[in-house]
Amino acid sequence: DAGVTQSPTHLIKTRGQQVTLRCSPISGHKSVSWYQQVLGQGPQFIFQYYEKEERGRGNFPDRFSARQFPNYSSELNVNALLLGDSALYLCASSLGGQLTGELFFGEGSRLTVL
């Protein structure tokens, strides 16, 4: 079975541009979460979506937005990119909305902002 898949794996943008990152959860998983991992640090929670509704939001500016589609895949959008947005963006999926089981992570999308 396929795990959590993310695209693109690497991308380079310039300041002020916009980026869209995509995530497909494990088949049957209805919850998707997004995390930002700056080099040398632990992941930081950005969003959680469950059954297409936002269930949680971390301490990130409004430039960050996300959505979940009827097939449970998800997109993370970041507008007006800043140099500090350079990071590995991780998507994770789980069966339900509460962390009663395991959170499965993808390999991430590495964003470089120049």
Partner 1 sequence: GDSVTQMEGPVTLSEEAFLTINCTYTATGYPSLFWYVQYPGEGLQLLLKATKADDKGSNKGFEATYRKETTSFHLEKGSVQVSDSAVYFCALSDNNAGNMLTFGGGTRLMVKP
Q: In the set 28, 40, 70, 84, which binds partner 1 (CB under 8 A)?
A: 40
* Residue 89 CB contacts under 8 Å (≥ 6 apart), including other chains: 6, 21, 34, 35, 36, 37, 76, 108, 109, 110, 111
- Residue 27 binds partner 1 (CB under 8 A): no
- Residue 51 binds partner 1 (CB under 8 A): no
Residues lying near partner 1 in the complex (CB under 8 A)? 3-4, 31, 33, 35, 40-45, 48, 50, 55-56, 58, 90, 92, 94, 97-99, 102-103, 105-108
